[in-house]
Amino acid sequence: MDKSVGLDGWSVEFYSSFLNLIGNDLLFAIKDCSSTGRIYGSFNATFLALIHKSNNPSSFDDIFPISLCDSIYEIIAKIISL
């Protein structure tokens, strides 16, 4: 089953499926982030979604926040953490 898509609209499965087409560009972006120590702002964008734990949330305790990150950001973060 596919995972959720990132802000770019693409899931990690998309990158895996089309690695032969986008692999060189993806590798360039990863190497550039590694060599400069910076991640492009567009990769680093995060959308905060609030999920209600109950039908009628009345406090912040009734809300579960999740961060939706860009797929490329997640790939780069996983490589950095290795």
* pLDDT tens-digit series, residues 17-59: 888 998 899 889 888 888 888 888 888 878 888 888 888 888 8
Q: Quick check: is 19 in a domain?
A: yes
Q: Quick check: is 71 in a domain?
A: yes
Q: Say if residue 5's pLDDT is above 70.
A: no
The span from the first CA to the last CA of the chain, in angstroms, equals: 25
Q: Quick check: is 62 in a domain?
A: yes
Q: Quick check: is 5 in a domain?
A: no
> Between 19-36 and 71-81, two packed helices, what is the crossing angle to 10 degrees?
60
Give this prediction's pTM: 0.61
Q: Quick check: is 2 in a domain?
A: no
3-class SS letters over the chain: CCCCCCCCCCCHHHHHHCHHHHHHHHHHHHHHHHHHCCCCCCCCCEEEEEEECCCCCCCHHHEEEEEEECHHHHHHHHHHHC
Q: Quick check: is 65 in a domain?
A: yes
Range of the domain at 36: 12-81
Q: Quick check: is 72 in a domain?
A: yes
**Count of the separate structural domains present in the chain:** 1
